[in-house]
């Protein structure tokens, strides 16, 4: 039996226990860096599947590394398993969790039973939804021995080259002066007015922003009582763009909106950027193409295979990984009434049909990983593509 068939057969044989693992994680939604249940369930499953497991790896309680194989090149597949506040697994990370574990097992069994050298590492990456777990994995050296990285993500279409935007986030504060809102309003300086003006300035600026830019905000504090002129207002904004350069430009223009609004209202302003930017995704061409061909063999035609137009996705810390090693982040469709980050998608992430499509995309990932491990020419082309997009 070929290595690829060995991987598929292994994944099929594990499908039932993976389904149980997925539903277990789905029914215990945990947010950024609190994924204790998922960490325990996944590392137990991987240890039972013969992996050499390091729990609480890379200085994070809920990160892990699970390795099988020996010698040869090393490839990483990533698991995510964090959920969203209030709506649970509305991004389907329970499916990403099992896809990483299953692809890892499929590749490991194929390598060992086929007598082929090579190492597969399943990396457990906490806190994708805003916590930047992969940034910490990178900083802690998780990719130093790794030659390529892969993960898949459920969504609303089958895509090899999702447009993933770089993002920075900020907290902005305006400070004015309290006064009686009816008795002596002229003595006050209205911090809420400053914030509303800034919000409107950003809304107007959208008209003269590139269509790929996304800016969105939420007011956290807008005063305490209508009869007190608010002396304090606070909001949070996300700024996204497809390249670092354009993101820098938009960050500057957003700051100018805050500064202008503060000046117009006689308030002071201050801003705190997260210091934890998610990068755009540098989708690796040869790896994405290989994934697409393997997926096609399994009956799924990605809409952007052979140059078709892809679609966009928000932002992910896998973008940061893609600037460290050749990486892919294909998106796959699961039957849905509404897209990611909605309660309807939470339901879709627990569906049997969603599970089956996850298994198919997982096989494509395992097959493409085996291609990379056994084909030096593919490794060279993936590295050349990475070097070309990073100016080496």
Binding positions for Zn ion, rule: CB under 5 A? 91
CB of 83 to Zn ion, least distance (A): 9
In the bound state with Zn ion, the residue whose beta carbon lies nearer, of 91 and 160, is 91
Q: Which residue is nearest to Zn ion (CB)?
A: 91
Rounded CA gap, 255 and 201, in Å?
11
Shortest Å distance, C-beta 84 to Zn ion: 7
Identity of the residue, 99 or 265, whose beta carbon is nearer to Zn ion in the bound complex: 99
Q: How far is the CB of 64 from Zn ion (least distance, A)?
A: 18
CA distances 310 to 240, 291, 386, Å, are: 18, 15, 20
User: Which C-beta is closer to Zn ion: that of 79 or that of 172?
Assistant: 79
Euclidean distance between CA atoms 79 and 99, whole angstroms: 7
Residue (190 or 315) nearer to Zn ion, CB: 315
User: Which CB sits closer to Zn ion, 55 or 277?
Assistant: 277
Question: Nearer to Zn ion by C-beta: 312 or 389?
Answer: 312
Q: Which is nearer to Zn ion, 8 or 316 (CB)?
A: 316
- In the bound complex, what is the minimum distance in angstroms from residue 89's beta carbon to Zn ion? 10
Q: How far is the CB of 94 from Zn ion (least distance, A)?
A: 11
The 10 Å CB-count burial string (b at 16+, else e) for 248-285 is: eebbebbbebbeebbeebebebeeeeeeebbbbbbbbb
CB 385, min distance to Zn ion, A: 25
At closest approach, how far in Å is the CB of 334 from Zn ion? 12
């Amino acid at each position: 039996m070929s290595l690829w068939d060995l991987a598929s057969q292994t994944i099929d044989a594990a499908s039932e226990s993976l389904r149980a693992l997925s539903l277990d994680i789905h029914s215990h939604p945990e947010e950024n860096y609190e994924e204790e249940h998922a960490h325990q369930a996944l590392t137990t499953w991987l240890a039972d599947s013969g992996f050499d497991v390091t729990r609480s790896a890379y200085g994070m309680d809920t990160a892990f590394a699970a390795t099988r194989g020996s010698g040869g090149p090393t490839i990483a597949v990533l698991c995510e398993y964090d959920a969203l506040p209030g709506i649970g697994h509305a991004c389907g990370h329970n499916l990403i969790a099992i896809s990483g574990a299953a692809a890892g097992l499929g590749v490991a069994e194929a390598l060992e039973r086929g007598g082929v050298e090579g190492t597969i590492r399943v990396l457990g990456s906490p806190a994708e939804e805003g916590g930047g777990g992969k940034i910490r994995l990178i900083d802690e050296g998780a990719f130093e021995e790794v030659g390529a990285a892969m993960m898949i993500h459920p969504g609303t279409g089958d895509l090899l080259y999702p447009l993933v935007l770089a993002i920075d986030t900020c907290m902005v504060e305006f400070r004015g002066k309290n006064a009686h809102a009816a008795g002596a309003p002229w003595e006050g300086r209205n911090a809420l007015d400053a914030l509303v003006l800034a919000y409107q300035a950003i809304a107007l600026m959208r008209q003269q922003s590139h269509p790929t830019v996304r800016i969105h905000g939420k007011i956290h504090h807008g005063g305490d009582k209508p009869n007190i002129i608010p002396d304090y207002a606070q909001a949070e904004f996300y700024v996204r763009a497809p390249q670092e350069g354009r993101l820098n430009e938009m960050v500057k223009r957003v700051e100018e909106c805050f500064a202008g609004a503060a000046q117009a209202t006689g308030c002071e302003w201050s801003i705190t950027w997260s210091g934890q930017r998610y990068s755009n995704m540098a989708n690796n061409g040869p790896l994405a193409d290989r994934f697409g061909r393997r997926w096609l063999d399994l009956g799924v035609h990605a809409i952007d295979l052979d140059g078709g137009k892809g679609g966009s996705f928000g932002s992910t810390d896998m973008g940061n990984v893609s600037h460290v090693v050749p990486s892919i982040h294909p998106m796959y469709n699961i039957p849905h009434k509404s897209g990611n980050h909605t309660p309807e998608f939470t339901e879709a992430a627990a569906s049997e049909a969603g599970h089956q499509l996850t298994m198919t995309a997982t096989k494509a990932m395992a097959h493409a990983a085996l291609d990379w491990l056994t084909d030096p020419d593919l490794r060279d082309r993936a590295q050349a593509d990475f070097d070309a997009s990073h100016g080496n």
